[in-house]
Structure 1
Amino acid sequence: MAQLPSQARVVIIGGGISGCSVAYHLAKLGWQDIVLLERKQLTSGTTWHAAGLVGQLRASQNMTRLAKYSADLYTKLEAETGLATGFRQCGSITAALTAERKEEILRQASLARAFGVEVNELSPAEVKDLYPHLNIDGVTAGVHLPLDGQADPGNIALALAKGARNRGARIVEQVKVTRVTQANGRVTGVDWTSGGEQGHIAADLVVNCGGMWGRDLAAQNGVTLPLHACEHFYIVTEGIPGLTQMPVLRVPDECAYYKEDAGKILLGAFEPKAKPWGMNGISEDFCFDQLPEDFDHFEPILSAAIHRMPMLAEAGIHTFFNGPESFTPDDRYYLGEAPELRGYWVAAGYNSIGIASSGGAGMALAQWMNDGEAPFDLWEVDIRRAQPFQKNRRYLKERVSETLGLLYADHFPYRQMATSRGVRRTPLHEHLKARGAVFGEVAGWERANWFANPGQDREYRYSWKRQNWFENQKAEHMAMRTGVGMLDMSSFGKIRVDGADALAFLQHLCANEMDVPVGRLVYTQMLNARGGIESDLTVTRLGETSFLLVVPGATLQRDLAWLRRHVGDQRVTILDMTAAEAVLPVMGPKSRDLLRLVSPNDFSNEAHPFGTAKEIEIGMGLARAHRVTYVGELGWELYVSADQAAHVWETLVEAGEGLGLKLCGLHAMDSCRIEKAYRHFGHDITDEDHVLEAGLGFAVKTGKGEFLGRDAVLRKRETGLSRRMMQFRLTDPEPLLFHNEPILRDGKIVGQLSSGNYGHALGGAIGLGYVPCRQPDESAESMLASSYAIEVAGKTYGAVASIAPMYDPKSDRIKQ
């Protein structure tokens, strides 16, 4: 073994394609003192047996950007390093066997056009022309991506390793990291062992690229890295005479993919119910290992494949392969710095798309480490989305049995996970269940998405058209628009910030004015140095030195990490209070009438104006009533201690019978908010979106003095907007919008929707999305003078565009 250094700038743990890519890209940025340690041999975990498919289209623009970067990098690596990567752009075809799958792949084709990925829609006959061996019985459509390809995964990793070495990185095999050391909340280095020797490397930064070993390594430091290995199967045929290079073929309705390789066919599967593996850890000597065959498990896939590809009936099986890969609870990998420990970075959990993703992921992580901020919005794969409870092994084992299969399942909108449910419930869960709630899950929270009518099945029936709850959503939506509705939003993240420096701390982090009277509620954003939005929240001043921050449930860990990162030596305490209080939004023109029936307090505009919070009596309990809304109507959010939540809920339900009170779910809340053009973090606003271009300048007060992001706001005001957030309504009331549908301005694709839903009060599907300005600071009038359309599954529909909210543009209703 080569002599290991006693210190390094960064230690990368794991020599699969992910670790090699991180080392390569850090070295390319000019970093010195890079050390990569591999417990056995490079590629010996998962990389060596990966199928090597390199697809460019992903579910979002930035994930597609990373996949396209990978493909571009792999075309250049051989010339740079002299190692053949086997990468060839043979194209890929996805064949649909149902009407619903046809709708899905045509929507994917629209998405590809919006993202600048070359794409061709195919009739069944055209699928046959491109793939003559295919039995097109039942095929409804196809999509062809000519620049997709396949590669040799092991050789790509070795080429990345060589490129890193050529730039000075040290890559050492047969060295196992036994522990990441830490002190005072920061990484200090790694302990290692090798062939009976052991030692320590001091380092400021560590990157966990440990794949299926990564979870247990992270757990030693209290870092949440929820992933679990599953068995992944494929067969390779004997040589087939006359078989020439073919596109990669995916038939997701039969859970199968096909790859021609050296005159043979590789048939792989993403079966609906997978086999988790390694529940009790992975043996020390695991290296280039295979798992036992399970032909019974694979047989249904093979039977369908022989029908779909008749030549397989004559081909012998050369290899039946079963090897482990790591999967995550939401089928997205993890990048970024762990919120629990400064200097602890992660790139792991690739869900069978590690080869296509690792080139771009390594580049993005290296840039992030170098600059101190992500190069663009990476929230989809950000490690901070992981919830601490998700490292529970039983939870992971059950969930990944489902997520492997979901890769090829229909990606219906609003699809809910079936496994590992019921982990986090609000105090009102059983009350809502008894009233017909149909639950969805976000960050582990069970949330009522819609309420079934008496006699109606309490389940989702998925479709790309109107789903079985569409009319339920409409009734709930219109109740909040015309009467009164009540939701359970106890899943909101609630953070207390207290201390002598609390005001100064929040003034620095928040763009709006925080020095407000006690009882005032402020809508604000926390910005980064580029003016991008790190957090979208409300802040209520509870006392001179006490503030309550309310954030989306899904971003709580991210927001806590952002706050803690900026505390320094200020006299501030930051406390997660999420589980302590239930939140009951009471919304609609009759909300004041309802509250007057259950409380002696004064809810008039004069006594309780918009944007204020007051303690109130309700029934026999107490609550804090925040006059604020996310649906665009008169209303209050009632914050109630968890122990009194059921009593307050029962009091409101009983009193509301005479007013027609309707229990409402998250789907109705979302359709209301999109009519009002309220932004949604993670879709409409991210750390890449400038707060002024997002149309949120009203919540930015540059006159208050210095705050994080202020300079970027002032610069943007000077140089002008380069794009604007706009709202669209389809003039045809039938099509549905979800997100990512292409926006056409005067017939040309200029962007895609960031979110969409149905506007039941406006009478059509509504979308939000950014439209580039044709020249710097193009006026709103000029932009609105154009004609707009939205593409849905290959068809174009005319749209009315607006910059002001189409519903109640002056916000008269919320202040009535």
Structure 2
Amino acid sequence: MSDLPAAAKVVVIGGGIVGCSTAYHLARMGVEVVLLERKKLTSGTTFHAAGLVGQLRTSANVTQLLGYSVELYKRLESETGQATGWKMNGGLRLACNQERWTEVKRQATTAHSFGLDMQLLTPKEAQDLWPLMDVGDVVGAAFLPTDGQANPSDITLSLAKGARMAGAKIFEDTKVLSIDIRDGVIRGVIVEGGRIDCEKVVVCAGMWTRPFCAAHGVNVPLVPVEHQYIVTERIEGVTPTLPTLRDPDRLTYWKEEVGGLVMGGYEPNPKLWRDGSLPPGFHFTLLDNDFDHFTPMMEQALGRVPAMQTAGIKQMINGPESFTPDGMFILGEAPEQRNLFVGAGFNAFGIASGGGAGMCLAEWVAKGEAPFDLWPADIRRFGRPHFDSDWIRKRTYEAYGKHYSMAWPGEEHQSGRPCRKSPLYETLKADGAVFGEKLGWERPNWFADLAAGEEPRDVYTYGRPNWHAAVGREHRACREGVVIFDQTSFAKFALKGPDAERALSWICANDVARPVGSLTYTQMLNDRGGIEADLTVARRAPDEFYIVTGTGFATHDFDWIKRNIPAGANAQLFDITSANSVLSLMGPRSREVLQAVTRADVSNAAFPFGTARTIGIAGCPVLALRVTYVGELGYELHFPVEYATAVYAALREAGAPFGIRNAGYRAIESLRLEKGYRAWGSDIGPDHTPDEAGLGWAVKLKRDIPFKGREAVAAQRAQGVKKRMATFTADPGVILHGRETIYRDGRRVGWLSSGGFGFTLNRSIGMGYVRNPEGVTADYVLSGRYELEVATERVPAEVTLAPLYDAGMERIKA
């Protein structure tokens, strides 16, 4: 302990692959960093990892992160002189039925979108690469040549050596007891027998991360799950160049190891390890093998690789791995505590992620932001349900069981439901609502026609799903008449205080310094001009603003606003999501229905587009926002939850003569695609600027008002953009889900960020960025001939920069 430094800029806690990678990258950036490991490097989870390194994910940026791992591992051994066991033998993925083959073909298109060379193979071609397998039931396979495998302990020790070479200090057998936090500021870490002063802490402690961070008020939703695999003795025909193999229909994976095979998998009935508490002294420790639990997977494996029937078993390994409720790892600065960063919950692909995750964490720590948008892995994607260990365990159990199951479009989780409910939940359920879930909220996705015998449940497919016709009914009702959407799950904040206007004017790209009653659609930007939030702001008083954002962005957007309130500004932010219900009344007849339930004048003259008014409905004070996300005349009605049933009943009764009906979120998606409205998290995010997204009109550059990101937006406007959001349409028989590849004049220029169907147009619709390093203008976008790659086949597409559906604008603003 006497060798411990008195201080460091950053302390990394945890000596597994992610901690060592983070220290390696911080040190190479010139940051003074100390890594502390309670026992020995790799002794928690890393040492018993299987070591497969795959790259493809549904997110372009997570795929980029994994691709960085590959590039790092390729050079690391020569850089440090420490062996890594890295081999880029490629990776095979099998499909053994037609639905899985469709999934694999769509994965291949996603790979092409992201610049990966995924090749589709016949069963015979796959067998040529992996001769030991029986391909009698194989329909086809995909091969990614740049996938590989590594020795987890060796590659971690190589990263640790590289970190030391760059100046990092690493201490084993040094247990961190706590973080010294005073007045909300990190002062240092307390270790057994000493302390180290520091400004920032990065917790990469694997399954210890949740309890350690919880002791400091930070929530990290992860669960240790038992994960078993076997290592065989040498098998004739197993060569060092054998690719990794994944057989999701048999729930199994393989890799070569010293002439034998490693075989493991993801059973549908996982075993959560313990109750979340961890035994003292647990390191370089494996769990008791559970042969009964492993037997079903072994039987599946023997059918695929008959040679295993006579192979000797060298070792059976059972070790706990950290899994998360959505199957994605956790990165970023904790919203509860400034300068406390987390890298944990790697769902058994920590070796594949380690290099890239460490790079991203290091950039985040050193520069205050991630190198690119990492929303799928961002710790701020979690919310209130994720504080409850029982809820997390239920959802993680389901997520683990789905690791190799079909990834159906539109699939919903079933565990831990219902959790958060609108007061109208039972009423809507009785009307045929089929609910989805987001951040614990039950939200109606679509409504079955119970009188006609429609069954209110989702049936998943890669074709047109069973809800397609129902969504079409709701879509047309919104375009032609009037519908109600229950959007109670919206995240809702109040910003109050004498300096509320000054604070929000700095954070928002659009002008919110407008009169009381004004409603402003705005983005919030980072210093690169990227869109960190996309929301609506209503001014309720000189010192009060009401902010509405998407359900899933509650933690993220609250954190972004709070941390960017200027120092010294007297403005307080409150999360009031649970206080208010929201009913959105939308469609050309919506004004007539609204006028029938209130004495307030809701004519266009008295209540124009882009304003907010308090009106009375059924004895309830309702904050009505004249706004739309579906391209029709409409109103968002916000009011205290206790009035929900009364307000809803009044609207239904008044709307009966107009054929009013309930509608769900899948209709909202269809309607907004026709109108070209962007969705944060898919179409727009921190890597996209307003000008690139076609939202430059919502930026107050013409006003002499400073705001975060202004200089970046102004510079880009002077130089022009290199990518631009466009909308594409294709034949109605083409099914678009997003991530389909965009080709312009035969050259790959991007991929779809969103995909769906437009019922008014009877066309399939996708939105995505057209990219060109030399610049993208409107003429460039519109002058090309476009195709979309869908499940590896190219189909013709038409492009536009304008809304596909515009007939409603006269109604929206009149």
Q: Shared fold by TM > 0.5?
A: yes
TM bucket normalised to smaller: over 0.9
- Which of 652-661 and 17-26 deviates more? 652-661
Q: Does the Cα contact within 8 Å between 1:224 and 1:387 map onto a contact in 2?
A: no
Name the SS for the 1:487 alignment partner: strand
Deviation by residue 1:444-485 (Cα, 9 ceiling, x = unmatched): 111111112213222211111111111111111111111111
Deviations 1:124-163 (A, max 9, x none): 2222222222111221111001111011011111110111
Q: Does structure 2 retain, via aligned residues, the 8 Å contact 1:97–1:253? A: yes
| 1:8 corresponding residue in structure 2 | 8
C-alpha distance after superposition, 1:662-695 (max 9, x if no partner): 1111111011111111000010111110111110
**Aligned equivalents of 1:73, 1:533: Cα separation in 2:** 29
| Equivalence for 1:366 | 362
Q: Which segment drifts farther, 425-434 or 71-80? A: 425-434
Matched, 1:447 2:447: no
Q: Residues 21 and 475 of structure 1: is their aligned pair in 2 closer, same or farther, counting only changes over 3 Å? A: same
Aligned to 2:516: 518
| CA-CA distance at 1:2 after TM superposition | 5.2
Q: Give the CA deviation at 1:268.
A: 0.6
Correspondence for 2:569: 570
Which piece of structure 1 moves more, 443-452 or 650-659? 650-659
Q: Render the CA deviation track for 1:315-373: whole Å, top value 9, x for unaligned.
A: 12222211100011111111111011111011111111100111001111111221112
Task: Give the superposition deviation at 1:632.
Answer: 0.6
SS of the equivalent of 1:754 reads strand
Name the amino acid aligned to 1:103. Answer: T
Q: How far does residue 262 in structure 1 lie from its aligned partner after superposition?
A: 1.0
- Alignment partners' CA distance in 1, 2:337 and 2:807: 45
Paired residue for 1:781?
779
Deviation at 1:280? 4.2
SS at match of 1:703: coil
Q: Is the 8 A contact 1:226 1:328 kept in 2?
A: yes
| Contact 2:490–2:577 under 8 Å retained in 1 | yes
Aligned to 1:242, which of 234, 237, 242?
Answer: 237
User: Does residue 209 in structure 1 map to residue 204 in structure 2?
Assistant: yes
SS at match of 2:9: strand
* 1:423-448 deviations in Å (ceiling 9; x for gaps): 21122212211211111111111111
Separation (CA, whole Å) in 1 of partners of 2:153 and 2:103: 33
Please tell me the residue identity of whatever aligns with 1:212: M
**Could you say what secondary structure the match of 1:438 adopts?**
strand
Aligned residue number for residue 68 of structure 1? 67
* Shift of residue 39, structure 1, vs aligned partner: 1.0
Give the C-alpha shift of residue 812 in structure 1: 2.5
Q: Tell me the residue number matched to 2:265.
A: 269
Question: 1:738 maps to what in 2?
Answer: 737
The amino acid across from 1:17 in the alignment is: I
Match for residue 551 of structure 2 among 526, 550, 553: 553
Taking the aligned partners of 2:521 and 2:260, their CA distance within structure 1 comes to 60
1:796 to 794, 797, 800: 794
Residue identity in the other structure for 1:436: G
Query: In structure 2, the residue corresponding to 1:812 is in which secondary structure?
Result: helix
Q: TM-score, normalised by structure 2?
A: 0.98
Letter in 1 for 2:655: G
Q: Deviations over 1:543-565 (max 9, x none)?
A: 11110111111111111111221
Amino acid at match of 1:723: K
The residue number in structure 1 matching 2:664 is: 665
Q: Secondary structure at the match of 1:277?
A: coil
Match for residue 331 of structure 2 among 312, 332, 335: 335
SS of residue matched to 1:356: helix
Q: Distance in 2 between matches of 1:258 and 1:282?
A: 30
SS in 2 for 1:319: strand
Q: 1:421 & 1:47 partners in 2: Cα distance?
A: 33
Matches within 5 A, 1:276-425: 276-425=272-421
> 1:296 deviation in Å?
1.4
> Partner of 2:322: helix, strand, or coil?
strand
Q: Which residue of 1 aligns with 2:247?
A: 251
2-side partners of 1:412 and 1:142: how far apart? 18
For residues 665-684 of structure 1, the aligned pairs below 5 Å read 665-684=664-683
CA displacement at 1:53 relative to structure 2? 0.5
Match runs of 1:612-623 below 5 Å:
612-623=611-622
| 1:483 aligns to 2:469 (yes or no) | no
**Identical amino acids, percent of aligned pairs:** 47
| Partners of 1:42 and 1:180 in 2: CA distance | 21
Asked whether the equivalents of residues 185 and 341 of structure 1 are also in contact (C-alpha less than 8 Å), the reply is yes
Are 1:260 and 2:256 an aligned pair? yes
Correspondence list, 1:621-640, <5 A? 621-640=620-639
Q: Which residue of the partner structure matches residue 427 of structure 1?
A: 423
2:226 alignment partner in structure 1: 231
Calculate the TM-score normalised by the size of structure 1: 0.97
CA deviation string 1:96-126 (max 9, x = no partner) = 0111111111111111112111221111222
**Are residues 527 and 423 of structure 1, via their aligned partners in 2, closer, same or farther at CA, if it must alter by over 3 Å?**
same
Q: Counterpart amino acid of 1:711?
A: E
Change (3 A) 1:24 1:2: farther
| Secondary structure of residue in 2 paired with 1:330 | coil
What amino acid is aligned across from residue 200 of structure 1 in structure 2?
R
**How many Å apart are 1:718 and its aligned residue?**
0.8
Task: State how far apart, in whole Å, the 2-side matches of 1:433 and 1:253 are.
Answer: 34
> Is the CA contact (8 Å cut-off) linking 2:325 and 2:393 kept in structure 1?
no
Matches within 5 A, 1:12-91: 12-32=12-32, 34-91=33-90
Partner of 1:459: 457
Listed one character per residue, the Cα deviations across residues 157-177 of structure 1 (whole Å, up to 9, x for unaligned) are 111011111122111111111
- State the partner residue of 1:118: 117
**Structure 1 residues 750-769: aligned runs within 5 Å:** 750-769=749-768
Q: Which of the residues 501, 504, 516 maps onto 2:502?
A: 504
Q: CA contact under 8 A between 1:40 and 1:174: conserved in structure 2?
A: yes
SS of the equivalent of 1:8 reads coil
CA contact (8 A) 1:584 1:637 kept: yes
| One-letter amino acid of the counterpart of residue 795, structure 1 | E
**Residue 769 of structure 2: SS of its match in structure 1?**
strand
1:155-194 paired onto structure 2 within 5 Å: 155-193=154-192
Q: Is the 8 A contact 1:26 1:366 kept in 2?
A: yes
The Cα shift of 1:811 comes to 2.7
Question: Deviating runs (4+, > 4 A) in structure 1?
Answer: none
Note the C-alpha offset of 1:742: 0.3
1:728 is matched with: 728
Cα distance in 2 between the residues matched to 1:782 and 1:23: 44
Q: Is the 8 A contact 2:385 2:439 kept in 1?
A: no
Question: Distance between the aligned counterparts of 1:278 and 1:345, measured in 2?
Answer: 26
Moved more, 138-147 or 652-661: 652-661
Distance of 1:254 and 1:656 partners within structure 2: 52
Distance in 1 (alpha carbons) for counterparts of 2:443 and 2:580: 15
Deviation at 1:782, TM superposition (A): 3.5
Q: Residue 279 of structure 1 contacts residue 397 of structure 1 at CA under 8 Å; is this kept in 2?
A: no
Say which SS state the counterpart of residue 368 (structure 1) adopts.
helix
Shift of 1:810: 8.3
1:532 Cα offset (Å): 0.6
Equivalent in the alignment of 2:100? 101
Say what the alpha-carbon RMSD is for the aligned residues.
1.3
